[in-house]
Amino acid sequence: MTPSSTATGPDDERVALVLDAGGARSAYQVGALEVLLPELEAQGRRPTVLVGTSAGSLLSAALTSTAHLDAGEQSTRLLEVLGRATKRNVIRPLWRQAPVVAARYASETLGLTGFRLRGFFGTQPLAATLGSAIDWDALHRNVADGTVRASAVCATAVRTGRVTMFTESAGDLPAPSPGQHRRYVHTRLGVPHLMASSAIPALFPSVRVDEPAEVAGWYVDGATRRRVPLAPALELGADRVVVVGTGSLRPAEADPEKDQEEVDLGDGGATLLGAVMDDPLRHDLRRLAETNELAADAGLAEHLSRHRTGRGQAAYRTVPYAAVAPLSGEDLSRVAMEVYRANHGTLRRTLGDPDLQMMHRMLGSDSPLQGELLSYLLFDPDFFDAASDLGRRDARSWLAAEPGLWRTGPLGAFGTDD
């Protein structure tokens, strides 16, 4: 099927879709997109700039490969890709990986650096799944014929920490200002770029990327060093931005008593993941809204534009946006714990697949933040269903509050400044 021709948006308007990090939480994004994609199509504003980070890069690649289809078919294809992302198709069982981990760890302990430990989980199954689940020929064709103007995947260079945007585009790429820790490279996207973007440090092994040759090297999850997740979409020329995240739009509420409770390894891990995966998007949405307010002030905007253009920077402009993410950080954690207890908490289930139980115990099984950690690794169809339901719910809530979809000012009822 072909996309709807009943466009109501300007033909030259660029709409960007930004899909942030989340591991198994990406099921939430799939649910939200089931609601958002038809709305965008009805407005004649199908995304032509796609930016993905970590698990979001897998979805952005899948969407690039189906951009020639209508929104309903795109959603169906996304659900098919999600359905294949079960644990056996993503990571190797720990019991199979344990000898390799032990050998590599012992090697490094003894100073034999030729046999390095790069991650606790083996992700060979994910590479095979991506190779077959995404129509790579269609992806390249959709970029070449202009159906998609740019498809960018964010990864982090291990040694330098440089944020690298592997970008397939028929047009020119932006050159960020000096001092920015971000670079764009023309790339023919493939499995290694997606693997690199989603390689959560320590958990998943870093990935060697060989193409393009000028940026060849070892990479990990793009979320680890990027601090402005919306910037690539704007630098790639977006006039409007749709963002779907998996972290809360609201910061945690103050609770002095809770802060005094004992913590463990799992709590530290959950806090680190939240800082890396969730906080930057919330802060960047606030900055976008503030910039929109500055651009709307004619007198101030003129003064700021002269100042910025004099320094070789682009003038401020108003960029309408739509943002869907969980209102509460506990939503996905709660359903993760419910699914874990139902599907993985019994002795029989543990004997059949001990990996999650082992991780649960190693990281402190009584921690109230355990659900936060498990939600990144729970590649379980029941969790996917529950998370997708939350995504659909929150996307509908956004549309109910913003019938035209777009907002320029602060999040307001959807979030608070912090």
Task: Cite the active site residues.
Answer: 54, 221
- Strand, coil or helix: 165: strand
Q: How far is CA 201 from CA 117, 193, 224, 324, 333, in A?
A: 11, 15, 8, 26, 21
* Secondary structure E strands in 105-162: 150-157
Q: What is d(CA 355, CA 91) in angstroms, rounded to the nearest whole number?
A: 10
**Beta strand 49-53 pairing with 15-19:** parallel
CA angle 254, 393, 252 (to 5 degrees): 10
Phi, psi of 183, rounded to the nearest 5 degrees: -140, 150
- Helix-then-strand count for the chain, H and E: 17, 9
Q: What is d(CA 378, CA 24) in angstroms, rounded to the nearest whole number?
A: 6
Q: What is d(CA 392, CA 381) in angstroms, rounded to the nearest whole number?
A: 16
Cβ pair 250, 281 in contact under 8 A: no
Contacts of 91 (CB under 8 A, 6+ apart): 121, 122, 123, 125, 126, 204, 355, 379
Q: What is d(CA 137, CA 119) in angstroms, rounded to the nearest whole number?
A: 31
Q: What is d(CA 34, CA 316) in angstroms, rounded to the nearest whole number?
A: 32
Q: What is d(CA 333, CA 25) in angstroms, rounded to the nearest whole number?
A: 10
Cβ pair 339, 380 in contact under 8 A: yes
Q: What is the CA radius of gyration of the chain?
A: 21
Buried b or exposed e, range 150-167, using 16+ CB within 10 angstroms: bbbbbbbbbeeebbbbbb
